[in-house]
Amino acid sequence: MMMMKKKKNGRTTASASKRPTIETRLVHLAGKLEDPFDSVAPPLYQTATFNQPGATDFGAYDYSRSGNPTRTLLENQMADIENADGAFAFASGMAAIATVMRLVKPGECVLAGNDIYGGTQRFLGKIAPAKQGLTVKHVDMTQVEEVKAALEEGTKGNGQPPVKLVLIESPTNPRLEVCDISAICKVAKEYGAVVCVDNSIMAPIFQRPIDLGADISMTSATKFIAGHSDVTGGILSVVGKELCEEIYFHQNAEGNMMSPFECWLSLRGLKTMALRMEKQAQNAEKIAIFLAGHPLVKKVNYAGLPGHPNSGIHASQASSGGSIISFETGSVEASRRIVEDTKLFKITVSFGSVTSLISMPCYMSHASVPAEIRKERGLVDDLVRISAGIENIDDLIGDLKEAFAGAEAAVGASSGQAK
Ligand SMILES: Cc1ncc(COP(=O)(O)O)c(C=O)c1O
């Protein structure tokens, strides 16, 4: 058993040589601030500025845009659980992604998947090319060969820009497609491209992209880190001194950092993240099985179902199917009724909350993806996404059964027949 030992300076550390597991490290902060009262909950430094010892003599912190002790605690904690060299907390997941895009210079290329979060698609479609001069290419990231071909294309000197950044989502939002993170990182390294994995759906509890070879792991803290639908934030966990310095430069220069209070709430959320995510994933698995057996459902997307096309790859890089599921009914009306008739599932964008959530991505989180692109990529209007919460599973399934019965009565069971 691991023994906890008090050191002279008041820091509590593990005395056993074995590093405690993530669940334990989440509860015991990786770093500690100088605190005369040794508070168990981390102090909230709700301040913009810090009084300096002198006009030319500076303390550890001077201005909260550049650094804040509560933010440092969160950033150290994230770096610790992700095995990163540094972590940086931003005002939202999108602010974090926008900062990653700063690594790419005009004339260079960003490679992304076909099934990605709508906000990321909006950035890649409307900001990166028109306002930053970047080329954006989309490939089917579930096919490593397509990634390799795009990387190769950028080296031929035939006018195709070099790929500087590969942006992976796995599993993807909203169709839970799975990409082989290690294989993509390996091939990207051969071509000198930086790999950033948007790990918002798994979070570092179930999948740690840096251990799989990524340079940057991005997590929307709005989701599982905070876990209670009360924070907007994003984290970049980063490998390598140079990359850390570059990300920090942009965080400070552009002022897109997370506020002290959001950092404090995120720190609180982290303590229960493993517990919440385990329960949410257990619920999701049962919901996925229920959906797969329902006549109204045409297709279920859940990374933890054995029938998932890349379930083997997912199992090799993640420890759980997670708590996000999406499904098709073949009928927008049936899907709408299911979403609107559930009582325990809040109709909302986002995921990862203790509360179960339900949405129709094409009308909500992915509405900004142009209709023709959605059509081209097979992102259908009747798709429903569920984020399982921590409620009792019998209540959740009972609620879904009633909503499905209402939809079936209204549109008939015919829509889901073609499984
Ligand atoms: C996969 C994924 N990445 C990034 C984001 C952006 O995070 P935020 O909403 O915190 O900006 C989202 C938001 O839903 C998301 O689903």
DSSP, residue by residue, 268-328: HHHHHHHHHHHHHHHHHHHHHHHHHT-TT-SEEE-TTSTTSTTHHHHHHH-SS--SEEEEE
* pLDDT (0 to 100) of residue 306: 92
**pLDDT per position as a tens digit, 95-138:** 999 999 999 999 999 999 999 999 999 999 999 999 999 999 99
In short, whether 219's Cβ falls inside 6 Å of ligand 1 is no
Q: Is 19 a catalytic residue?
A: no
Instruction: For residues 238 and 249, give the distance between their C-alpha atoms in angstroms, rounded to a whole number.
Output: 13
Distance from Cα 173 to the centre of ligand 1, integer Å: 9
Helix then strand then coil, in percent of the chain rounded to 5, is 40, 15, 45
Which residue numbers in the chain have pLDDT < 70?
1-17, 413-419
Distance from Cα 100 to the centre of ligand 1, integer Å: 14
3-class DSSP state for residue 19?
A: coil
Mutate to test the pocket of ligand 1, among 90, 101, 117, 369 (most ligand atoms within 8 A of CB): 117
Instruction: For residues 139 and 152, give the distance between their C-alpha atoms in angstroms, rounded to a whole number.
Output: 13
Residue-range domains of the chain with CATH: 18-268 (3.40.640.10), 278-416 (3.90.1150.10)
* pLDDT (0 to 100) of residue 413: 65
* pLDDT (0 to 100) of residue 165: 98
In short, whether 117's Cβ falls inside 6 Å of ligand 1 is yes
Instruction: For residues 294 and 167, give the distance between their C-alpha atoms in angstroms, rounded to a whole number.
Output: 35
* pLDDT (0 to 100) of residue 12: 42
Q: With CA atoms as reference, report the closest residue to 31 among 241, 192, 267.
A: 267
The widest CA-to-CA distance across the chain, in whole angstroms, is 76
Of 117, 191, 248, 302, the active-site residue reads 117
* pLDDT (0 to 100) of residue 34: 86
* pLDDT (0 to 100) of residue 30: 87
* pLDDT (0 to 100) of residue 388: 98
Q: Is 65 a catalytic residue?
A: yes
* Side-chain-side CA neighbours of residue 99 (13 Å): 35
**pLDDT per position as a tens digit, 38-59:** 999 999 999 999 999 999 999 9
Q: Is 117 a catalytic residue?
A: yes
In short, whether 198's Cβ falls inside 6 Å of ligand 1 is yes
* Ligand 1 atom at shortest distance from the alpha carbon of 223: 10
Using CA atoms, how far residue 273 sits from 22, 43, 263, in Å, is: 10, 20, 15
Q: Which phi and psi (to 5°) does residue 282 adopt?
A: -60, -45
Q: How far apart are the first and last CA of the chain?
A: 50
* pLDDT (0 to 100) of residue 1: 31
Q: Which residue's alpha carbon is at the smallest distance from atom 7 of ligand 1?
A: 93
Q: Is 223 a catalytic residue?
A: yes
Distance from Cα 36 to the centre of ligand 1, integer Å: 38
